[in-house]
Structure 1
Amino acid sequence: MASSERTGIPREIDRGIQLWRDRWSLLRLLYADRALLSALTGAQLLAALWPSAFALTVGWLAGRLGDVLGKEAPATAVVTPLVLVALCLLLEEATVALLGAAQIKAAGRVDGRARHRVRTFVLTCRGSTLLEDPEVADNVSRAGNITGDDHRSPGKAATGQLTLIFRILTAVVAAVLVARFSVILAVVLLFGSLLMRAVIRRQWMHLTEVKNGREHRARRARYWTDLAGGRAAAKEIRLFGLGDWAVARRSREALEWAGELWRVRYRVLKHQWPAVIIALVCSSSALFFPARAVVRGEMAAADLVTYLVAGATVITISRMGYEAFDIEYGLESVKALRELEERGTPSRQEAGSGRTGPGSGRPPAIHMENISFRYPGTDRPVLQNLDLRIEPGEVLAIVGKSGVGKTTLIKLLAGMYEPTSGRLTVDGSDLAAADVTAWRRRMGVVFQDFVKYPLSAADNVALGAPENAATPEALAAALEAGDARALVDSLPSGADTLLSAEWKDGVDLSGGQWQRVAIARALYAAQHGRDVLVMDEPTAHLDVSAEADFYRRIVAQASGQTVVLISHRMSTVRHADRILLMAEGRVAEEGTHEELMALDGDYARLFRLQATRFTIPEGGATPVLST
C-alpha cells in the first residue's frame, strides 16, 4: 500500500513531503563534519551575494562613466566604482576556488562514510541469503557505485543540495534588487524562473527514475563487459572462438539497458516547448520594462545596467546545473543504502552466547534438528527434515551426487544461511540466537569455490586466522601439513611471492597447487583455535597420489578438532569415523565405511563404481591403476 493511502494524505502532498525529507537527509550528511560545513556554507554565502553586489557596482560604474562623458564629473570619478568591479571579479574567482576545494573535500568525506556503511552492511549481514537476493544486489550496486559511470555520489548530492539552496538565495537577493524598480517584475521573474526550473526538472529527472529502475540491466552489461575483456574467461573465449559472441552479447545487454533511456531522452527533448515559452516571457520582460522606463525618462540609463544584470541573475535559477543531476543520482544511492540497512541484520549487533574461537576448549556438539531449507523465490526444498548430530572431535564425511544439498548443509552450519524450518544448535544453544561472528571464529572452512587472493603465499595461508599475528614457524607448519611446503619454497620469492600474474612479479598457480594452499589455510586456522574444520570437495584438483595421502594428513594435523569432509570421491573419506550418504535433501545412509559396504546400498554401489578404475591397498598411500 502506498504511503499516501496509509496516511490519507493526497498523493501530490505526500510526494512533496517526502521530497523535503529526502533533501533534508542529504543536508544531514554534511553535518557530521561541522568545521568543513562552516567553510562550505561561508563560501556558498559569498557566492550567493556577489552577483547582486556586482550588479550594483556595474550600475554605479555605468553612471559614473556617463557623468565623465557628459563632462559632469572628472575622469577620476570612475576609479572607485572601477576598483569595486575589479574586487567583485576577484572575489568571484577566489570564491569559486574556495568553494570547489570545500565541495571536493566535503563530498569525499561523505562518500567515505557511505562506502563504509555499504561495506559494513555487506560484511556483517548475518548470512549470505540476503546478499543473493536480486533486489538487494541492485541496491548494493546503487549504494556502492559511488565512483562508477553513474556517479551516484552521496557526497556530491549533499554538496549539490547546499549549492541549490544558495542558488535560490542568489535569485531571491537579485529579485529584491529588481523590486526596487518593480515589485511585479521581480515576482514575475522569480516565479517564472522557478516554474521553468520545475518543468525542466520534472522532465529530465524522469530519466533518472528510468535509469535507476534498470539497474539490473546495467549490472548485466557490466558483467558481459568484464567477461569479454577480463582474464577469468580469456582461455575459453579464445579457445572456442567466442570473442565475437561475447562482444555481441555485451552489446545486446547494453542496448537493452540504454534503449529505453534514449527513448525517454528523445521524448524530453520533444517536450521542451513549455520551458522555451517561459524563458522567452521572463527574458523579454526583464529587458522590455526597464528599457521602456529609460525611454520614458522614469529611470536613469545607468540604472538599466543594474536591473538587467539583476534580472539575468534571477533567471539563471532556471538553469539545470550539474548539481541537479548530482542530487538525483546521489539521492538514489542514499535511498538504496537506507533500504539495505533497514533490511539487513548485522551479526555484530546480535551478540549472543556464542564463544570466540581461540581458547574455547573442546569442540562443540552440533545438532541439526528437523532442518528444511529452500532458496528464496523457489518452491523446491534443498534439504527436507534433516536430523543430524555431529559429535565433538568426530571426523564426519558427507557424500552424495551433485545437487543433493551437501554444500547447502555446510553453509547452514557456518551460519551463512538460516533454515526455512527447524533449528541448528551448538552445545544446546540455538545458532539463530547466538553471536554468529563468534561462531564463525571457531570454524576453518575450505569451500569448493575458495577465494584465490591476489596476495603473497604467506598471506593466503595466514588469512585462515587473521586475528593472529602470522609467524614464519606457524606458516611453515601449516604449509607442511597441507603438503604445500615444497610448492611454496619453489616460488621465486618463496612465501613472499605474489600469487597473481595480473600484477608485477606475480605468478599463477595451477588448480591443484591452489587447492594445496587453501588446505594449508584451513589447517593454519585449526592450529590457531578453530575447533570445527570443514572441507568441501578438498581433493577436486589434486592428483590421485595426493588425494590418497590427503586423509592421513588431515586427521594427523586436525587432532582435537571436529572435521567435516564433503566429497564425491569415496576413497577420500573411507576412513572417516562416520559417513553420511545424502539423497534428495535427506540422509539416505549412515555408518562407517565397513557398515555401509555391508549394507550393500547406494554407497556400496557408488564405491564399487569408482573402485573399478583404481585399487587402493589397505595399508598403502599410493593407488594402483586397475587393469
Structure 2
Amino acid sequence: MRVEMYNALRERALLLRVMAGAGPGLLLVIVVVTVAASLIPAVSAVAMAMLVGRVADGPNADFLASAAVPLVVFGAALLLGHALEVVQEPLFFLATARIDGAHRAEVARLAVTSPAFATLEREDVRNLVWKARADPGNWTEKTPADGALTQLKLLAHGVSLVSLSVVLVAFSWWVLPLLLVAVVAHTMIGRRNAMRWYDKWLGGTDQGRRAEVWADAIFAPAEGKELRVFGFGGWAVERVTAHVRSMFEPVWAVGVENMRGQWRRFLLVLLPLTNRLRDGRPGRRRRCRVGGRRDRGLRRGLGDVRVRGCRQPRGEGCSRRPEGTGAVARGAAGHPGARRGPHVPGEDQRASARAVRGRRLQLSRQRAEGAGRAGPGDPAR
C-alpha cells in the first residue's frame, strides 16, 4: 500500500514538473484563473444564503435595499464563473501545445542522437517510443500536457472542497463529515476503476500497433494492390480484426464491470444528501408553534398563535414576538419561542393550555359583567 501511494505521488510530482514547458508567464495566469474559478462555488453559496435569509425575513421598509446586495453578489459570481470557464479553454489549449511540443522535441532528440541504432529496432523499444510519442490517435489516448493540467485541476478541486467545507460548517456542521467520507470513497473507487481500465489499455498497445501496421499495408497503394492480386485481402482484414479484438476485449470487459458498479458511487453521494435527522438532533429546524400543533381550543375560533418566521433550532430562543389578538397573544407570552432561553420539553403544551384558559376566563368575566349591568327585562340578561 505504501509503495503504491509513493508511486502515485511520484507520478503526480513528475506530471507537475512537465508544466514548466508552458512558460512562467502563461503558467502563472493559468494558476490564478483556475484557483479563482475554484472559489466561485463557495462565494455563490454564501451569496445565496444571504439572499434567502433576507427574503425569509418578509417584506419591510428596506426589503429591496437589503436584498439587493446579496442578489448583485450572487449574479456577479455566476457571471465571473462563466467568464473564467471561457478564458480557461484557450489558455489550456496554448499550454497543451507548448508542453506537448517540448515533449515531442525531446523524444525526437533522444531517438536521433542515440548511438545504439540497433537498440531502436527492438520491439520493446519501439513500443516505448510509440507510447511516448504524445500524438493521440483517438480519444482514449492522452498526452503529458493532459496529465499535467489535470493535476492542476485536481488541486483546484481541493481548494474548492476546502472553501465549500468552511461554508458548510457555518450552516450545517453535521453534514460535513458525511460528505467528506462520501467524497473520499467516491474518488478512491473512481481512481481504482480508471487505473484498471488504463492498465488493460496499455497492456494491449502492442496488439494495437500490429493492427495499425496491417491496416496501413491494406490501404497502401503498392502493398494493397499486391494483397488484392494474390487474394490475401480477406486474410489481411482478418489479421487486423484479430489484433483489434485482442487489444479491446479486455478493455471492454473492465468498462462493463465499471458501469455495473456505478450504483455504489451513486449511493455514496445520495445518502449524505438525503439524510434527514429527526427532532432533537443537530441541525433540525422547525417553525415555532404553540403546542407544536393546532390546539383543539384554538380550532374553535381562538386562532392559531405562533411565532411567525421563527426558524431557530431546537434548544435556542426566538427573538420574534407571537402574533395573535387579545388575550390569546397575551396568553402566549409563556411560549418558549417568545423569549430567549433553553427549550423545556412540554412547555409548548402548557403555554397553549394557559392561553386557552386565559381567553375563556376573560370571556366568562365579560359575560358576567354584561349580565350585571343588564336589567331584569333586558334581552342581554
TM-score of the aligned structures, taking structure 2 as reference length: 0.70
Matching residue of 2:312: 298
Matching residue of 2:242: 252
Structure 1 position 135, deviation (Å): 1.5
Q: Which one of the candidate residues 46, 59, 64 is aligned to 1:56?
A: 46
Matching residue of 2:14: 25
Identify if the C-alpha distance between structure 1 residues 295 and 36 changes in structure 2 by more than 3 Å, giving closer, same or farther. Answer: farther
1-structure distance, mates of 2:76, 2:120: 56
Partner of 2:192: helix, strand, or coil? helix
Structure 1 position 205, deviation (Å): 1.8
Matching residue of 1:88: 77
Structure 1 position 145, deviation (Å): 4.2
Q: Which one of the candidate residues 84, 93, 103 is aligned to 1:104?
A: 93
Matching residue of 1:483: none
Residue by residue over 1:504-546, the C-alpha shift from the partner in whole angstroms, topping out at 9 and shown as x without a partner, is xxxxxxxxxxxxxxxxxxxxxxxxxxxxxxxxxxxxxxxxxxx
2-structure distance, mates of 1:47, 1:290: 32
The answer to whether 1:115 aligns with 2:104 is yes
2-structure distance, mates of 1:73, 1:290: 33
Q: Which one of the candidate residues 147, 162, 169 is aligned to 2:159?
A: 169
Identify if the C-alpha distance between structure 1 residues 37 and 295 changes in structure 2 by more than 3 Å, giving closer, same or farther. Answer: farther
1-structure distance, mates of 2:122, 2:175: 56
Q: How does 1:572-587 map to 2 (within 5 A)?
A: none
Identify if the C-alpha distance between structure 1 residues 210 and 259 changes in structure 2 by more than 3 Å, giving closer, same or farther. Answer: same
2-structure distance, mates of 1:51, 1:292: 25
Structure 1 position 170, deviation (Å): 0.4
1-structure distance, mates of 2:165, 2:19: 29
2-structure distance, mates of 1:295, 1:207: 51
Residue by residue over 1:595-619, the C-alpha shift from the partner in whole angstroms, topping out at 9 and shown as x without a partner, is xxxxxxxxxxxxxxxxxxxxxxxxx
Give the counterpart letter for 2:217 in structure 1. L
Give the counterpart letter for 1:122 in structure 2. A
Structure 1 position 72, deviation (Å): 6.0
Runs of at least 5 residues in structure 1 that lack an aligned partner in the other structure: 1-11, 301-627
Identify if the C-alpha distance between structure 1 residues 177 and 234 changes in structure 2 by more than 3 Å, giving closer, same or farther. Answer: same
Give the counterpart letter for 2:284 in structure 1. R
The answer to whether 1:274 aligns with 2:264 is yes
1-structure distance, mates of 2:84, 2:286: 34
Give the counterpart letter for 1:26 in structure 2. L
Residue by residue over 1:461-491, the C-alpha shift from the partner in whole angstroms, topping out at 9 and shown as x without a partner, is xxxxxxxxxxxxxxxxxxxxxxxxxxxxxxx
Matching residue of 1:180: 170
Q: Which one of the candidate residues 138, 141, 144 is aligned to 1:154?
A: 144
Structure 1 position 171, deviation (Å): 0.9
Residue pair 1:26, 1:158 contacting (<8 A) in 2 also: yes
Structure 1 position 204, deviation (Å): 2.4
User: RMSD value over aligned CA atoms?
Assistant: 2.4
Greater RCO, 1 or 2 (C-alpha within 8 Å, sep 6+): 1
Partner of 2:137: helix, strand, or coil? coil
2-structure distance, mates of 1:111, 1:166: 22
Q: Which one of the candidate residues 215, 218, 242 is aligned to 1:225?
A: 215
2-structure distance, mates of 1:134, 1:167: 41
Residue pair 1:185, 1:286 contacting (<8 A) in 2 also: no
Q: How does 1:48-447 map to 2 (within 5 A)?
A: 48-67=38-57, 69-71=58-60, 73-149=62-138, 150-285=140-275, 292-293=284-285, 297-298=311-312
2-structure distance, mates of 1:90, 1:146: 36
2-structure distance, mates of 1:54, 1:232: 63
Residue pair 1:26, 1:157 contacting (<8 A) in 2 also: yes
2-structure distance, mates of 1:244, 1:39: 55
Structure 1 position 291, deviation (Å): 7.5
2-structure distance, mates of 1:295, 1:45: 40
Structure 1 position 102, deviation (Å): 1.6
Structure 1 position 122, deviation (Å): 1.4
Structure 1 position 295, deviation (Å): 5.7
Structure 1 position 185, deviation (Å): 2.2
Structure 1 position 30, deviation (Å): 1.2
Identify if the C-alpha distance between structure 1 residues 298 and 265 changes in structure 2 by more than 3 Å, giving closer, same or farther. Answer: same
1-structure distance, mates of 2:287, 2:99: 54
1-structure distance, mates of 2:201, 2:287: 52
Identify if the C-alpha distance between structure 1 residues 227 and 42 changes in structure 2 by more than 3 Å, giving closer, same or farther. Answer: same
Report the identity percentage: 26
- Larger % of strand: which? 1
Identify if the C-alpha distance between structure 1 residues 164 and 28 changes in structure 2 by more than 3 Å, giving closer, same or farther. Answer: same
Matching residue of 2:2: 13
Give the counterpart letter for 1:177 in structure 2. V
Give the counterpart letter for 1:51 in structure 2. P
Runs of 4 or more off by more than 4 Å in structure 1?
Answer: 286-291
Q: How does 1:457-536 map to 2 (within 5 A)?
A: none
**What is the aligned length?**
288
Identify if the C-alpha distance between structure 1 residues 133 and 294 changes in structure 2 by more than 3 Å, giving closer, same or farther. Answer: farther
Residue by residue over 1:182-241, the C-alpha shift from the partner in whole angstroms, topping out at 9 and shown as x without a partner, is 444212212321221111211222110111111101101111221222324122123224
2-structure distance, mates of 1:287, 1:239: 77
2-structure distance, mates of 1:232, 1:125: 32
Partner of 1:31: helix, strand, or coil? helix
Partner of 1:46: helix, strand, or coil? helix
